[in-house]
Amino acid sequence: MHRFAGKRVAVVMGGLSAEREVSLNTGAGVHAALRENKWDTVAIDWKAGESLAQRLEDAGADVVWNALHGTYGEDGAVQGLCSCLRIPCTGSGILASALAMDKVMSKRIFESNNIPTPRWRVLPHDGPADGSDASTLAERKLPIVIKPANEGSSVGVSLVEDAAQLAPAIASARQFHGPVIVEDYIAGTEVFVGILNDRVIGSVEVRPATKFYDYEAKYKRTDTKYLLPPEIPADVLARCEQHALASYRALGCSGHARPDIRITPAGEVFVLEVNTLPGMTATSLLPKIAKRAGMDYATLCEEILASAT
């Protein structure tokens, strides 16, 4: 029997981050799937100005299925709120969520666990708004990637191929909360690894039609190709999944997660980050990976529910 059989499940979605729209799609999908399997569910679209604690109390929530993405939802804040309210919440806990959302902390932890991650340095959030501190990067070999340390969905991420693009890229990343990460660009293939309950369930290769997998390519374009399984040599894929699982464990994640990995043409593997609340619509990548592993969407939603702590 399911751990939460007979309990009321609040699917919390929307939220206050830049990824609000994506979250509403995740939440609608999860809510419908749980409904179909006869769960007593309430959909909570958490909006700015509302008390989430009050909404959960009003709904009589016994457990939270966290369908949020980005700030507050993915960074440990909602996990902390649920913990104070004594309501179990799906996904990683407070610390792992906060660490995974912060790319500076994630990279420090990867490095101290010998998990390969692109060479990097950090620029302060409160540097010049026009990015004129780009001059301090003069020694870096281009191309490089510039991105905000605490965002998701490729928001504020730029590929810099010539020096004139440096200052605008820094300025753009600096518009977001937190420091700016400057990272070596890893040419090659991108693979997302699906993890559920401390186990790799499969991987997908992402092939954008454009050179860079930006917000447009992620959510707006229809010509990004997703290859399941990835078209890379078996030994490289095995290494990729091994590093993905190691990064999940190093950050202390639990439940579901989806590390982002880059692989060079020579087969060298680099972990970019771990997404602790990946997209979870019926057609999102983690559900696609699960399906290939023999687990349908509703079952995946129930498995994630069972992992709530």
Ligand X SMILES: Nc1ncnc2c1ncn2[C@@H]1O[C@H](COP(=O)(O)OP(=O)(O)O)[C@@H](O)[C@H]1O
Active site residues: 19, 153, 219, 258, 260, 273, 275, 279
Interface characters, 9-48, with Mg ion (x: CB under 5 A): ----------------------------------------
Q: Does 260 bind Mg ion (CB under 5 A)?
A: yes
| Distance between CA atoms of residues 127 and 144, nearest Å | 19
| Distance between CA atoms of residues 227 and 239, nearest Å | 18
Interface characters, 269-288, with ligand X (x: CB under 6 A): ---xx---------------
> Using an 8 Å Cβ cutoff, are 276 and 257 in contact?
yes
CB of 273 to Mg ion, least distance (A): 5
**DSSP string for residues in 217-278:** IIII-S--EEESS-SS-HHHHHHHHHHHHHHHHHHT--SEEEEEEEE-TT--EEEEEEESS-
The listed partner (Mg ion, ligand X, none) that binds 75, CB under 5 to 8 Å by sort, is none
Question: Of 9 and 100, which CB lies nearer to ligand X in the complex structure?
Answer: 100
> Using an 8 Å Cβ cutoff, are 14 and 71 in contact?
no
Question: Of 80 and 118, which CB lies nearer to ligand X in the complex structure?
Answer: 118
Which of 36, 86, 29 is closest to 57 using CA atoms? 86
Q: Are strands 8-14 and 199-207 parallel, antiparallel or unpaired?
A: unpaired
| Distance between CA atoms of residues 302 and 210, nearest Å | 36
Question: Of 31 and 147, which CB lies nearer to ligand X in the complex structure?
Answer: 147
CB of 181 to ligand X, least distance (A): 8
Where in 57-96 is the site for ligand X (CB under 6 A)? none
Q: Could you tell me how many residues of this chain bind ligand X (CB under 6 A)?
A: 19
Task: Read off the DSSP letter of residue 216.
Answer: I
Output the six-digit token pair for 199: 């186990």
Residues in the chain: 309
CB of 153 to ligand X, least distance (A): 5
CB of 275 to Mg ion, least distance (A): 6
The listed partner (ligand X, Mg ion, none) that binds 186, CB under 5 to 8 Å by sort, is ligand X
Interface characters, 181-220, with ligand X (x: CB under 6 A): --xxxx---x----------------------x-------
Interface characters, 118-147, with ligand X (x: CB under 6 A): x--------------------------x-x
Work out which of 44, 81, 157, 285 binds ligand X, going by CB under 6 A: 157
Work out which of 19, 102, 151, 205 binds ligand X, going by CB under 6 A: 151
The listed partner (ligand X, Mg ion, none) that binds 153, CB under 5 to 8 Å by sort, is ligand X
Work out which of 59, 105, 140, 154 binds ligand X, going by CB under 6 A: 154
Residue 302's φ and ψ, nearest 5 degrees, are: -70, -35
SS3 280: coil
Kindly tell me the sign of the dihedral angle through the C-alpha atoms of 252, 193, 196, 275.
positive
Helix or strand (DSSP H, E) at 139:
none
Question: Of 45 and 184, which CB lies nearer to ligand X in the complex structure?
Answer: 184
Output the six-digit token pair for 226: 């997703």
> Using an 8 Å Cβ cutoff, are 185 and 159 in contact?
yes
Residues in touch with Mg ion (CB under 5 A): 260
Contacts to ligand X by CB under 6 A: 118, 145, 147, 151-155, 157, 183-186, 190, 213, 260, 262, 272-273
